């Protein structure tokens, strides 16, 4: 851990992708709005702000949306808040013909994750969803893509998790060593 002026924000150090949610402890509208505002304030290429946030809390809608998640994300059904981030592939900055909308969405999601930690929540961005199912549930326009699905809530009992996920819940994911990922002036082996 770095000290002094090099200290990393607490929220960055404490952020983890938890899976043990308390389904009986709702996240307030004020907290959700704070998370969304953090995402909305993210930087974006050319200030395109390509993101759109679809918040799902209604139990009936969540039940349908949960059908669009992969089996490995069974734990997500207990999270009180699901946020789908969607964008048009051509909605970002057109520079260099690269898909900058994905970078923009990533920046927005990271802001949201850190705001969640700041509020005392756990948050988990997922991989593993069926876009056609989720798209139908939320009425996603054809020209948009689902770029991220993130779950938020208060930490709860982990007893419903699989052995694998329970083990992951009890350890911090390691980071690759600084010297392995940082290169000065040119790529170094």
Q: What is the pLDDT of residues 18-41, one digit of tens each?
A: 888 999 999 999 999 999 999 999
pLDDT of residue 4: 62
- What is the per-residue pLDDT across 66-107, written as a single tens digit (0 to 9) for each? 999 999 898 899 999 999 999 988 877 776 777 788 889 999
The domains located in the chain, with CATH, are 19-168 (3.40.109.10)
- What is the per-residue pLDDT across 5-21, written as a single tens digit (0 to 9) for each? 667 788 878 877 788 89
C-alpha distances in Å from residue 83, one per residue of 67, 148, 171: 15, 8, 25
pLDDT of residue 159: 77
pTM beyond 0.75, yes or no: yes
List residues bridging with 56 in a β-sheet: 82
Which tokens in the block code for residue 168? 């992951």
- What is the per-residue pLDDT across 98-157, written as a single tens digit (0 to 9) for each? 778 888 999 999 999 999 999 999 999 998 999 999 999 999 999 999 999 999 999 988
- What is the per-residue pLDDT across 160-183, written as a single tens digit (0 to 9) for each? 877 877 777 777 778 888 888 988
Q: 80: which residues sit within 8 A by CB, 6+ positions away?
A: 21, 22, 23, 25, 26, 27, 57, 152, 153, 154
């Amino acid at each position: 851990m770095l000290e002094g002026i090099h200290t990393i924000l607490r929220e960055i150090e404490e952020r983890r992708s938890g899976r043990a949610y308390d389904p009986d402890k709702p996240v307030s509208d004020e907290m959700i709005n704070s998370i969304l505002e953090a995402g909305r304030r993210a930087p974006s290429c050319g200030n395109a702000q390509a993101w759109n946030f679809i918040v799902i809390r209604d139990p009936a809608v969540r039940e349908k949306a949960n059908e669009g998640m992969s089996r490995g994300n069974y734990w997500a059904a207990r999270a009180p808040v699901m946020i789908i981030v969607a964008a048009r592939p051509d909605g970002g900055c057109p520079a260099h013909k690269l898909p900058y909308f994905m970078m923009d969405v990533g920046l927005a999601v990271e802001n949201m994750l850190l705001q969640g930690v700041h509020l005392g929540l756990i948050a988990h961005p997922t991989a593993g969803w069926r876009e056609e199912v989720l798209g139908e549930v939320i009425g996603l326009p054809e020209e948009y893509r689902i770029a991220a699905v993130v779950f938020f809530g208060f930490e709860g009992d982990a007893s419903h998790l699989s052995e694998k996920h329970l083990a992951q819940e009890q350890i911090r994911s390691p980071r690759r060593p600084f010297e392995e990922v940082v290169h000065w002036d040119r790529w170094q082996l």
